[in-house]
Amino acid sequence: MSGQELVNQDVIEQALDAALSRGAGFAEVFVEDERRESVGLDDGRIERLASGRDRGAGIRAVSGSSIGFAHTADLSPDGLLRAARAAADALGSAGTTTARAMTRAGGEPGPVEVPPEDIDKATKVDLLRRAEDVARGTDPAITQVSAGYADSRRRILVANSDGVLASDDQTRTRFSVQCVASGDAGLQTGYESVGLSVGFELFDRYDVETLASRAANRALTKLRARPAPSGTLPVVIGPGSGGVLFHEACGHGLEADLVRKGASAFAGRLGEQVASPLVTLIDDGTMAEEWGRYAVDDEGAPAARNVLIEDGVLVDYLWDGIRSREEGRTPSGNGRRQSYRHLPMVRMTNTYLAGGDSSPDDIIASVDNGVYVARLGGGQVNTASGDFVFGMVEAYLIEDGRLTAPLREGQLIGNGPKVLQQIEAVGNDFEMGPPGTCGKDGQGVPVGDGVPTLKVAELTIGGTAA
């Protein structure tokens, strides 16, 4: 069943009319039907085997800066009309507005070769057990192994009084494994995950045994690691997972709602040179199969490739429907919501630093004394100032232009706008990082990010070495 068939179009039109009945200038109906399944293994035991389905509608009535919103799990005509009237009543305006005739819009959903719902649970459990067997067999020092599998299918329908009628069908599949190694250095962890907007064919492309081996070896390597240094040093960030730094430290500051509130270090800087000329930062919801990919956003706008910083110059922000209406411009396809129970807001999709011309080996060779960060973890960011702190999950010393000793987990401390200015080299080895969930104002949505190898002139390392 397509998103358009979730609710009859006649019922949608009636709900829009009801939402406009108290003088709203704009109304929207968002319908969602999501199916999820997940399996979790911890130390040989299946600790979680869950499946669920969530369906309902969120209805929005807007007049100027005032918003009336109601949601319901009742998709019957009566249920939708009650929610539409509640949204209109919450707005409290007077008068009526007429909705425009709806026109079908949006792109095509991504292809799914093997629907995950067609795969039995035993096959999914077997993936986890295979990963655990390989991880434990890597070395006796591996003392704990956990693994997780998850898939989802989310169908949406969006209609509004501007005449938009759009639907999407989004399937995502994910796998992760975490290992703990015990030794003289205490307990050290290694983690690996993959996820794409595809079906169960994900496992034709990725071997779970290889993923488990990587996670185990990452934990084992850290057993012989030395404490991370402290101080300001040149830093080389490896391809892939380093994209989370730009997502958090820069991307959020380019979301139009934060810009409008003055809660962004990039507010009022369009047209300015905000980064090194080597920097081109892009947010792209159309990236085939990536975790943050979709055909239309949660307001019915087509996903798009949006260049935010080009050759170091700030050229645009990310926009949702409300902010773009206020500015008289076209939405950028970045209106997203966690579920039908939530209002949409400006969110990133797949955010990445475009590749450059430098060889990764040459970038490392250019550093006499510094740190190579192969994998970044979570962190904290102040979007107004751009200040950030990120965990270094996997890192190595750079000595005389060569990678040497592995380092125990430390912190990477800096400022997003300053980092953009201090990028001295960008590699030709671009990669997207692992799948992520971005949190903002209590809502989480799937996102991707990526970078090539890059060199930052200096960052503060928060380590424990004397």
Please count the CA atoms within 13 angstroms of the CA of 368 that sit on its side-chain side. Answer: 0
Could you tell me which of 171, 222, 227 has the C-alpha nearest to residue 199? 171
Tokens of 234: 């040149």
Domains and CATH numbers, the chain: 3-36+50-105 (no CATH), 116-153+168-222 (3.30.2290.10), 231-462 (no CATH)
Residues 6+ apart with CB under 8 A from 293: 110, 197, 285, 286, 287, 303, 349, 350, 448
pLDDT, one tens digit per residue, over 4-27 is 478 999 999 999 999 999 989 999
What is the phi/psi pair of residue 138, to 5°?
-65, -45
| Alpha helix positions (H), 61-201 | 77-91, 121-138
413-431 residues labelled b (16+ CB within 10 A) or e (exposed)? ebbbbbbbebbbbbbebbb
Give the number of other Cβ atoms within 10 Å of residue 356's Cβ: 19
Q: Is the pTM of this model over 0.85?
A: yes
Task: Specify whether the CB–CB gap between 68 and 89 falls below 8 A.
Answer: yes
Distance CA 100, CA 102 (A): 6
pLDDT, one tens digit per residue, over 230-280 is 999 999 999 998 999 999 889 999 999 999 999 999 999 999 999 999 999
Give the pLDDT score at 380: 84
Task: Specify whether the CB–CB gap between 213 and 142 falls below 8 A.
Answer: no
pLDDT, one tens digit per residue, over 100-153 is 666 666 667 888 999 999 999 999 999 999 999 999 999 999 999 999 999 999
Helices 77-91 and 9-19, axial angle in degrees (round to 10): 20
